[in-house]
Structures are given as C-alpha cells and as structure tokens.
Structure 1
Amino acid sequence: MKNLQNNASGFLSSLPKNIFSGFVVSLIALPLGLGLALASEAPPISGIIAAIVGGIIVSVFGGSNVTIAGPGNGLVVVLLGAITTLADGDLFQGYLFTLAAIICSGVLMILIGLLRLGILGDFFPSSAIQGMLAAIGISIFAKQFHVMLANTGAKGDTISLLLDIPNSIISLFSPEYYHLVIAAVVGIISLLIMIFYGKIRNKYLQLVPAPMWIVLLVIGLSYYYEFFSSETYPINDSLLVQIPNKVFSSFPSPDFSSILELKFIGVVIAITLISSIESLLSIKAVDKLDPEKRRSNTNKDLTALGIASIVSGFLGGLNVVTVIARSSVNVNNGGSNRSANFFHSVFLILFVVLFQDQLSRIPLTALAAILVFTGYKLAAPRNLRDAAKIGKEQFIIFSATIIGTITTNLISGIFIGILTTLIIHFILNKSIMLFARNLFKPNVLMFKEEVNGTYFVSVKNFSSFLNYYKLKRNLDSIPEDGDVVVDFSHCDFVDYTVQENLIGYQGTFLRKGGSFEITGLDKHGTASEHPLAVRSLVSISRKFKIGANLTKRQEDLQKIAHDFSWNYNPKKQENISSLNNFLFFKIKKVKYIYNSIFNENSSFEISDVEFSEGEFIARKNIRTTFLTIHLKKEIPVFTLDREGFIEFVYKIAGFKDILIENHPDFSKRFYLLGEDIEQIKLFFTDELVLFFESNSYYHIESNGRTLLLMRKERVASVKEIKALLDYGIRLEKIISQINSDEILLKSLQIKS
C-alpha cells in the first residue's frame, strides 16, 4: 500500500514536467506527421491520426517508459510502394488497400508480442540494420528533394529520382516554372533552417524545435499575403496541405478485397518486419537515454503497437511504431513516464481541432525540406566512413544492404545484408562447419561465484548475431547493480554486433552501480584499429594482427599502470621460468604471460598467463591472472588457500594442514601447507593472520623469495585486478615488518 502511495505521489509530482514534454514533442510530431504521410502519398491527416492513436494506446498498454509512438521514417518507402502499386496507380484505392494491410500488420505484431518474439530483433547484424536505415534515408531524400523544389510530379525508383535531381533544379530557371519559384524558395529556406538551427545558441529560440519554427514562419507568410500585401499568395493550392473540413466526422473504409493476393501479403510482411525492427531498435536506444535506466518490456510494447496500428488503420491513419527522434526530445525535456506520450496526443488533437485553417496554409515544400534533412541524417556519408573504420567486412555488409534495398525492396535488402554477413563470417573463419556445429549448442555458461557474488559468463566456440540471444538471455537475468565478468577466452570468433550490444550493457550496469567487465579478447586477431572490430583466434590472414589495437580491458589496464606511475606491456612474453618454481605451476605447462603491469624495479607484477593441463584428449588450455611480489628477504616456503574440496583431498592424501595456535577460526577457514612447520607457525604472526581473516580469499604461494597470488582460474576483470593489487601492496607491507631473522633463530632453537 505504501509503495502504491509513493508511486501515485511520484506520478503526480512529475505530471507538470510530462505535460510540458508532451507539448514540446507535439510541436515536432505535428509537421513530421504531415510530412511522413505526404511522403507516403497518403492524406496528410493520416500521419497525425497515427501519432494521436499511438500516443494514447501505447501510453496505456505499452511496456516502455519514455518512448513516443507515431508514424516512423522507416515505413515511408514501404507505404509509398504499397499505395502506388496495390491498385495499379489508383492512389486513393491503393490507400484503402494499404489501410487494410496496416490492420493485418497490427494483428501480426500483436501475435509477435504475445508469443514473446521481441527477441527476433537480436537476429539482425548491426551493420545490415545501419545499411537498411541509410537506404531508407536515401529513398526519402530522393523523393522529397523534388517535392522541396515544388516538383510534385517526379516519379520513378530511387536511383532514377536521384539522377533526376539536376533536372528539377534546372527547371526552376525555365519561364514556365516561375510560378513555382516562391514555393521552392520556401522549401530551400526551410532546409537551411533545419541545417543551421542546431548552431544557434539562443536559449529562447531553442525552446521551439526547428520543424515548428518552419511551420510558424510559413503560416505567418500566408497571413502576410492575406492581410498586408496587395498581391495574391504566390503558392498554389495544390502545393498546400489538404486538411478535411471535418476531420473526425468520417473515416475511410479499409478495403480487404485483396487480402489473399501475393502482392498484398508481401506488403503486410514488409510493414510488419520494418515496424518491428524500427520499434525494437528505438526502444533499445531510448532505454539507454532513460535517466532511471529502466528496461522496457519489448513484447508488451509490440503488442500495444499492434493494437494501435489496427485502430489507426480503421480510422484512416498510418501504422504506429516507436520513434527515436521524438522519444529523445521527450527525455531531454523531462519526460519521465508514459503520460508524456499521452499528452503529446492530447495536444495534437487540440492542434487539429483548433487550428485546421492554419494547418492548411503549410506548403508541401516546407514539409519536404524537413524530410530531406531527416533522410540525409539517416544516410550521411559519415555513416559509411564509420562502417569502414570498424572493418572492411562491415563496410561490405553496410554497402551490400544499401544497394540491395535500393535496387529491390526493404525485405530483400535486409536479407541480402544478413546473407552477406554470413558469407563474410564463413570466409573469415575458413569454416562453415564451425557455425553449423555450434549454432544450436548452449555456448554460454553462467554461474554466480560464491566468494564475492560476481556473475561469471563464459562464451565458447563463436559468438555472432545468430546466437547472441543466448548471451542476452543470461545477461538480462542479472541484477543491474551486480558485478559481471563476460569471458571470451574460449571463443574463437566474436563479431561486431555482439560487441556493440555489450557496450550498451556496460553503460547500463555502470549507471546502476554495478560493474560489467569483458575479458578474454586480448589475444584475438583484429583487422582494424577500431575497438569493436571483429575478433578471431582463427588464423584469418596476414592482415589480422594480434594486438593490432587494445581492447577496452587493455586500455583500462594501461590506465591503472599510469595511475601508479608503473609500466604496462600488453605483448606476449615467453620467458616464464620463474613461475616454474611455484607449486601451482609444477605440473602445468606455462605457454606465455601477457598484459603485464609492473613497477620500476619489478618487485610487483600483475600478468595474465596462459597454461595447459593434461595431455592429448584431456588437455585443457586455461588463462588466469596472477600477482607476483618479489620480497627483499627470505621467508618460509608455504601454500595458503581457502578450505575446500581440493584441500580435503590433500588431507586424505597425507598432506598435513598446519594449524596456527590461538587462531582456531583461521585454521578452520584456511588450508596451510609447507615442509618447515615450526618456521611457518612463527612466520604467521597475529597481525598477518588477522590480515588474512579480514580480507578476501586468494590462493597464495611462497617459494622463499617471491609470493604468488591469484584467485580464480580465469582472467580477472579490471575491478578484480585493482582489488588484487591493493591486497598485494598491503600484504607486502605487513610481511616487511616481520623479523625473518628472529623467526629463523626461534625455529632453530625449537628444532634443537
């Protein structure tokens, strides 16, 4: 009851901010809704209907917190194709068929949500998705650039529209097109406002978003000609937004007569696929922006979006998706719960009811300019450069998806991207069987370590977009304030999509007070210097170099060394003879050490080590992290470890646990082994015993002049390395205060 009262109190206290945020979002949603509908060859009001219905229904039934629902950029190409082709060029009849397709798509989205298939969004490679978004941007740009220049008659596919842009520019200088020049100038000025608005630093101007400034200015221009100029308004009615006189009095009836036709089914699948992908990507991105870092229920959101699309389709509106741009604006203006989505719809209703005349004064060229800018941002050249920086293979995937989408359609384009990714993965690993053998195996092992409660996740064989859902399922079950170590030591191949998703987890855990460490990638080969480049243990080519770039963990280790004014060496070192003097490595074959942090005189050194146990079939390669401390004096030879099953076996085998007098708790919790029992007993002073009892457990060995410390037979996280280093420094300080000569003398007296 108390929690309910707190939630209600919190909701009411945040209501003013959410109302304000909803108002700001509506200022953007209004022109974008009109523009996206026009770009789809649908009635302008259909975009506003989608935003209104989406905001109300998703705010009530959705599973996200700060997202905004409405018509999306990604569907423009699909809806445009559907409206222009389903009725063989009859745009109104095509619009009615498309409404039916939107309703059917809504039903499929409800099924996707109810069957908990939101996980399907994880089966798309990142570069292919980015390529698809870029292709959508190019298509929007190609069509709307002509409309921005008042050429509403430009037709054809994306490539022909791009090639025809110079003709639209030249035509403005022809005498027969002079009546269109003012409309084109309005479009060009609107585009300039979109481009340069972000560079204005006036806080008052920034209160109104750029799209709304364009709407206010073009409406103001219309009133200027009506009341203050003797000349007639120079923009023809055909280039103005057409709003029905009675918006909510009559709605078009969707036509389901083509429901069994292959062409109609293809449109339904395309709308469903793109709606789901765009929504899932947007939800994932907006969750990262949420100040409270809440996780959305994607399946519940997909169900709500499906319901909203059905209602919108019956009312004559476009389909409803989650939109990232408007959601970002919502977060930036203080939106904290779903009520902001609801209020954005309320303000849109008020705009349509109270300002119908003003909306009908907006030139299509101004709305097209907003879309031209939107399309350019989706397909900006820097996106291509960014893909190339990650690796040539990502550039190929990105480019193949763009070309495939532009030359065919969105569904074919995204599947071309997936197929290209698979082929590249096969080539890089020189093995199709590697994927075939491991695709359906449980290649993720997770357990919670007893000592410190760290969740350890080991990924084996290969990790790509195809089986990422297995890793994600485990990670989603971990509390975000916990400590996680994801280890790829036994993973032959890790692709870009997996690494990009894990970066998102790192940020979320950090903000929630937890830690999220990625280990085991230090010895993988990479083809570029990008931190998220594809990594492989397989010998791919001469261009793939071990250590070509530092991983995030290596960069953190470098920073630790810098903070201590120590040295860091990430390279492999095979001179490891000193380790053979320790009991732990006596029957193990040490291959090399790497990632070494050490001080100037090398008295302290933390390193990762790779060694093997057993031979032939039983042989197993293991990587771990250890600390060695070179002491300035002689101390007894001993091994100290936590009491456990192995120590129990030691006792059965005849090894005697050394008990320290007056410290029964220590003797119960620790297993102490050594030959010179009396000398060891004298060495373990009260202060040293208290240190071990009051700190974390470590496996500790002394060979007389050097201590070796380690915790687990796995590579340590950065957080664990810091703890190990702190532990070692404090331990060395205590040992340095023990009088070894006195201990030796007492030991000799006892023996004599």
Structure 2
Amino acid sequence: MPQHFSVLSLKYDLKASLVVFLVALPLCLGIAVASGAPPMSGLIAGIVGGIIIGSLSGSHVSVSGPAAGLTVIVLDSISTLGTFELFLGTVVIAGLIQLIFGLLKGGVLGYYFPHSVIKGMLTAIGLILILKQIPHALGWDKDAMGDMAFLQIDNANTFSEIWYAIQYFSPGAIPITLISLLIIFFFERPKIKNNPILGIVPGALWAVVFGILANRFYSFFLPDWELSNEHLVNLPVVEKWEDFAGLITFPNFSKITSGDFWVIAITIAVIASIETLLSIEAGDKMDPKKRVTPASRELVAQGIGNSVSGLIGGLPVTAVIVRTSANIASGSKTKLAAILHGVLLLVLVVGIAGVLNQIPLSCLAAVLFMVGFKLAKPAIFVSEYEKGLNQFLPFIITVFAILFTDLLVGIGIGLIAGVFFVMRTNYRKSIQVTELNGRYLVKLQKDVSFLNKAPLRKALETIPDGSEVIINATKAQFIDHDIQEVLNDFINSASEKNIEVDTEGLKYNLEETL
C-alpha cells in the first residue's frame, strides 16, 4: 500500500523526527563506544538507517539504526578479525545475505513469533531503558548509553551501576533530570500537545534547551555543579563537509576467504534479521492504524542498508524498537519521520556538533525515561494477566529473561516458554471425553498429536463395558498416526467388551491392530 505524504502529515512527522533524533543521538554514539568501534560509525549507521532504509522500507512507523543487541557480537568480531576495516567487510557481506534472504521471501518467519513474547520484549526493553538511564540521570556516566545488556564488559551489571550512581552522583545532573521530566510531562498533556502553537515543538526539545541553559547557569553561579566531558554528548566535531568525509572508514575484504570472516558475516545477517523481524512486528502492533509491514521487503531494505553502512564505515543496522516506539508515541503519520530523523543526524552533526556537545546526558536520560515508561506501563502487566496464565506466563518469563540476560537470549527463552504453553493448551483442548446417562462422547478437536496418546488411551480404558460411545472427529484438522492407531485398537476390541461404537468424521481401519 503506497504511503501518502501531505502537509498535514508533514507537521506530525517533523515533530516526531525531532524526538527520534534526540533519542537516536546518544544511542548511536553509545552503541558505537560499547562496541569498541569509532563513535562516527554509530552516527553513520543511524544516518543510513534513517535515510536509506527509511526510504526503501515498507513500514510506516519503523525506525532503523545501530542495534544494542549486536554490541557484544561487534566487539568480539573486531577482536577476532583484528581491525575495524575487516569487520566492515563482514557487514557488507551480511547485508548481501539479508538481501538474498528477503528476495527469497524469508521474512515470513517473522509471523511466527507469539503475541505474548512480542509484548514481553517491548515491556522488557522499556524496563531496561528506565534502569539503564538511572545512572545517567544521577550523573554517573562511566558506561555508554548504548549498553543494554545486563552483564557488562567491566563485570558490573544493571543494578550494580545504579548502586555506584547512588554513591557517586553528580549534584548538577539531578535537577536537570527532574525538571526535564516535568517539561516533557507538561508537553505530553493532551491540551498542550494538541495546541496549535504550544504543540509545534516537542517537549523533548524544550527539555534539551533547558538542559543546555541550566548547565551554562552552573558554569557562572554554581561551578561545582557544572557538567562537563563525560557528562555531555561527545560528537566528533566536523567544521566542514570535507572533514566529514575524512571520518569515513572503508572496508577491507582481504580475509574474505577465511572461515572467521564468513562465520561473522552470517551471524550478523541472521541476528540482524531476527531483531528486525521482531521490531517490525512489535511496531505494527503499536501502530494506531494497525498497518502491516511487508516483512520480506523489510529484509531487502535492511540488506541494502547494511551493505551501504559497511561500505562507508557504519555499524550493522536493524529496525530498532526504542526509536520506533518514540516515533509512534510522538505522533508520526508516515515513514517520512524516519527519513527526516536520518537527515537531522546528517545535517546537525555536521552543522552544529559544537552545540550538540553541550547537551547533558542527564537531560537525554529524561527523554529515554519517558520512552521506557510508555513501553512498560503498569497497565500492560494488568492487561496481560487478565488474558489468562497461558498468555501471562510467557509474557512475564520473556520480560525477566531479557532483563537479566540480553535481547536475543531473552527472546529465545521467551519463545521456548511460548511454544510450551501453546503445546500445553492444545494438549488439554485437543481431546474431550464427556458422559451422559451411560453414553460417552469422545471429541477430537484441532490438531491431535502423539502428545495426546497417553491421555486418550487412559480415557478410553475408563469407559465401562456395555457403554455406547460416539467418537466425533468432525473438527479435527489433523490426527496423528499414533492417535489413529489407539482409536483403531479401541474400535476393534469394542465388541469383546460389549461396547457399541459410532464414529463421526473419522476414518478407521478395522483390520489395523497391533
């Protein structure tokens, strides 16, 4: 379905792109630093994710950029290959693998993730955002903002970092965080947000302006509270376009024949594809208009984007849920918002890097707090619980698994839990045996697999001699051979027990006995 841009949608998309830019800026830098890559590589990936993938994607709301889920893989890959340039070569090849996968319609795999697991992923990311931003909100900025895993490279973890922050906080950061939160909350109120004048500029941008001015106030009147160096955004300063070109790193393909090179390329392609499919599925569920993204087309777009990113010195790119959720929550209407956020990254990083480097990280932490809260509202837990334990338990298992490991491991655990509860539900509902006045109804529903063999045999053994039995399989779409065998045995031996058997919708073989 083609996307239609209009003057009306432009107003909303531009506003959303500003918020996504403010969310993406620290994450692009933070993920690059946490990955052991040059900071510029994260920005390049953000620019490519916005402009190129945003243009090619069929998604109306998804935003792409460097992914926190690949941080450890990137760090290990650079170490294994020896240089960042060789790693870039694997990113280019990974993109080509994704492109081929998309052309082969591999995106259909994204439709098999259970709703409870997707919801758990979103909620877990919201909680992680909140927990990971607490140290930055308190002015403890020893770790990059893009570090989203529970266990960190420095042997600390999410909760120990909060404890360190409480002990070694920066007093100037806390007022900036609290007042920034109040500003954002104020501009989120419907009367303000929908006001034709006050609603033009998003609250996140006003919070950033306040953060810069507050820190300048500290420098004049409270020098001990002034935030500097590690407490501020740290962009490479580019004074002219020629300098920007000088920061671009080109890939090295000299090890393309080695096994390590291909293992890394395939690993990046597979994991980036999984994270993308999860993110676009989650984004579609959050989209107020419930539009559906063509999954295979998304993989093609991501493949082209990753190859381009690798060719000009950027990190691997995926669709990312943090930026996507910020985009949706900010009221974007079309994919123009994603494209414009990439343009802002390109233009503003080159044009006003000096100004952006004055933004306190505590101020951006407030912006990410609000994104995290919208993903992990208490009402979400209540809503999932009301759907029953078969939905709630995979949801909560996914939440805690991601919270205490990382995105990919947690999703894997969540999928196992989801499949278990699906099988458990089907196991219970596939066979129903009821009795009325000595007449027994054995009803087979949905798919009846070998897992139902034991309870079926046990149920049939309890039917007393001389009974009337109806075996109804009209609603069974699939009956496993093992189940058919148990039924055949029962039917063939029924006359010995004076049991009268009638079947509905069941094919059986009177001669098939063990």
CA distance in 1, matches of 2:141, 2:173: 11
Q: Is the 8 A contact 2:231 2:360 kept in 1?
A: yes
Q: Where does residue 686 of structure 1 map in the other structure?
A: none
- Counterpart amino acid of residue 328 in structure 2: S
Q: Where does residue 33 of structure 1 map in the other structure?
A: 24
Give the Å deviation of 1:421: 2.4
Q: Where does residue 206 of structure 1 map in the other structure?
A: 199
CA distance in 2, matches of 1:346, 1:263: 30
Per-residue CA deviations over 1:197-235 (Å, capped at 9, x if unaligned) read: 423733233322222122222223355567x76958811
Measured at CA, do residues 345 and 380 of structure 1 come closer, stay the same or move farther in structure 2, by a change above 3 Å? same
CA distance in 2, matches of 1:431, 1:163: 40
CA distance in 2, matches of 1:329, 1:117: 30
Q: Is the 8 A contact 2:180 2:366 kept in 1?
A: yes
Query: Does 2:105 correspond to 1:116?
Result: yes
Q: Is the 8 A contact 1:63 1:297 kept in 2?
A: yes
Q: Where does residue 183 of structure 1 map in the other structure?
A: 173
Measured at CA, do residues 345 and 17 of structure 1 come closer, stay the same or move farther in structure 2, by a change above 3 Å? farther
CA distance in 1, matches of 2:430, 2:93: 40
Structure holding more strand per residue = 1
CA distance in 2, matches of 1:348, 1:157: 25
Alignment partner of 2:139 out of 134, 137, 150: 150
- Aligned-partner SS, 2:63: strand
Q: Where does residue 512 of structure 2 map in the other structure?
A: none
Give the Å deviation of 1:431: 6.6
- Counterpart amino acid of residue 229 in structure 2: D
- Counterpart amino acid of residue 55 in structure 1: G
Q: TM-score, normalised by structure 2?
A: 0.68
Give the Å deviation of 1:390: 0.5
- Counterpart amino acid of residue 107 in structure 1: L
Q: Name the count of aligned residue pairs.
A: 419
Q: Where does residue 241 of structure 1 map in the other structure?
A: 233
Alignment partner of 2:249 out of 248, 252, 255: 252
Measured at CA, do residues 104 and 395 of structure 1 come closer, stay the same or move farther in structure 2, by a change above 3 Å? farther
Measured at CA, do residues 137 and 44 of structure 1 come closer, stay the same or move farther in structure 2, by a change above 3 Å? farther
Q: Is the 8 A contact 1:118 1:280 kept in 2?
A: no
Query: Does 2:411 correspond to 1:418?
Result: no
- Aligned-partner SS, 2:191: coil
Measured at CA, do residues 38 and 127 of structure 1 come closer, stay the same or move farther in structure 2, by a change above 3 Å? same
Measured at CA, do residues 17 and 377 of structure 1 come closer, stay the same or move farther in structure 2, by a change above 3 Å? closer
Query: Does 2:303 correspond to 1:306?
Result: yes
1:174-573 alignment, distance < 5 Å: 180-199=170-189, 201-202=191-192, 203=195, 204-224=197-217, 231=223, 234-246=226-238, 247-253=244-250, 259-260=260-261, 266=267, 268-283=269-284, 285-286=286-287, 289=289, 296-318=293-315, 319-321=317-319, 324-328=324-328, 332=331, 335=333, 338-339=335-336, 341-430=338-427, 461-462=446-447, 490=475
1:57-136 alignment, distance < 5 Å: 57-64=52-59, 66-71=60-65, 75-76=67-68, 78-86=69-77, 102-136=91-125
- Counterpart amino acid of residue 616 in structure 1: D
- Aligned-partner SS, 1:235: coil
Measured at CA, do residues 259 and 285 of structure 1 come closer, stay the same or move farther in structure 2, by a change above 3 Å? farther
Q: Is the 8 A contact 1:69 1:321 kept in 2?
A: yes
Measured at CA, do residues 241 and 314 of structure 1 come closer, stay the same or move farther in structure 2, by a change above 3 Å? farther
Q: Is the 8 A contact 1:148 1:365 kept in 2?
A: yes
Give the Å deviation of 1:344: 4.2
> What's the % identity of the aligned pairs?
25
Give the Å deviation of 1:182: 0.7
Q: TM-score, normalised by structure 1?
A: 0.48
CA distance in 2, matches of 1:302, 1:420: 27
Can you give the 5+ residue segments of structure 1 that lack an aligned partner in the other structure?
1-6, 435-459, 464-488, 494-614, 621-752
Q: Is the 8 A contact 1:82 1:94 kept in 2?
A: no
- Counterpart amino acid of residue 275 in structure 2: I
Measured at CA, do residues 387 and 104 of structure 1 come closer, stay the same or move farther in structure 2, by a change above 3 Å? farther
Q: Is the 8 A contact 1:150 1:239 kept in 2?
A: yes
- Counterpart amino acid of residue 80 in structure 1: T
Measured at CA, do residues 129 and 462 of structure 1 come closer, stay the same or move farther in structure 2, by a change above 3 Å? farther
Per-residue CA deviations over 1:171-215 (Å, capped at 9, x if unaligned) read: 14xxxx6xx221343234334444554237332333222221222
Q: Is the 8 A contact 1:62 1:300 kept in 2?
A: yes
- Aligned-partner SS, 1:71: strand
Q: Is the 8 A contact 2:403 2:410 kept in 1?
A: yes
Per-residue CA deviations over 1:627-654 (Å, capped at 9, x if unaligned) read: xxxxxxxxxxxxxxxxxxxxxxxxxxxx
Q: Where does residue 470 of structure 2 map in the other structure?
A: none
CA distance in 2, matches of 1:356, 1:87: 28
Measured at CA, do residues 347 and 86 of structure 1 come closer, stay the same or move farther in structure 2, by a change above 3 Å? closer
Q: Is the 8 A contact 1:137 1:379 kept in 2?
A: yes
CA distance in 2, matches of 1:196, 1:97: 48
Give the Å deviation of 1:137: 3.1
Alignment partner of 2:45 out of 50, 62, 71: 50
Q: Is the 8 A contact 1:106 1:272 kept in 2?
A: no
- Pairwise CA RMSD: 4.1
CA distance in 1, matches of 2:325, 2:148: 29
- Counterpart amino acid of residue 227 in structure 2: I
CA distance in 2, matches of 1:341, 1:153: 30
Q: Is the 8 A contact 2:181 2:367 kept in 1?
A: yes
Q: Is the 8 A contact 1:240 1:363 kept in 2?
A: yes
- Counterpart amino acid of residue 205 in structure 1: L
Measured at CA, do residues 220 and 68 of structure 1 come closer, stay the same or move farther in structure 2, by a change above 3 Å? farther
Measured at CA, do residues 366 and 265 of structure 1 come closer, stay the same or move farther in structure 2, by a change above 3 Å? farther
Per-residue CA deviations over 1:374-410 (Å, capped at 9, x if unaligned) read: 3343334433322211111222111222333344443
Measured at CA, do residues 273 and 296 of structure 1 come closer, stay the same or move farther in structure 2, by a change above 3 Å? closer
CA distance in 1, matches of 2:261, 2:237: 35
Q: Where does residue 590 of structure 1 map in the other structure?
A: none
Measured at CA, do residues 251 and 116 of structure 1 come closer, stay the same or move farther in structure 2, by a change above 3 Å? same
Q: Where does residue 502 of structure 2 map in the other structure?
A: 616
The more displaced of 358-367 and 22-31 is 22-31
Measured at CA, do residues 492 and 181 of structure 1 come closer, stay the same or move farther in structure 2, by a change above 3 Å? farther
CA distance in 1, matches of 2:134, 2:251: 30
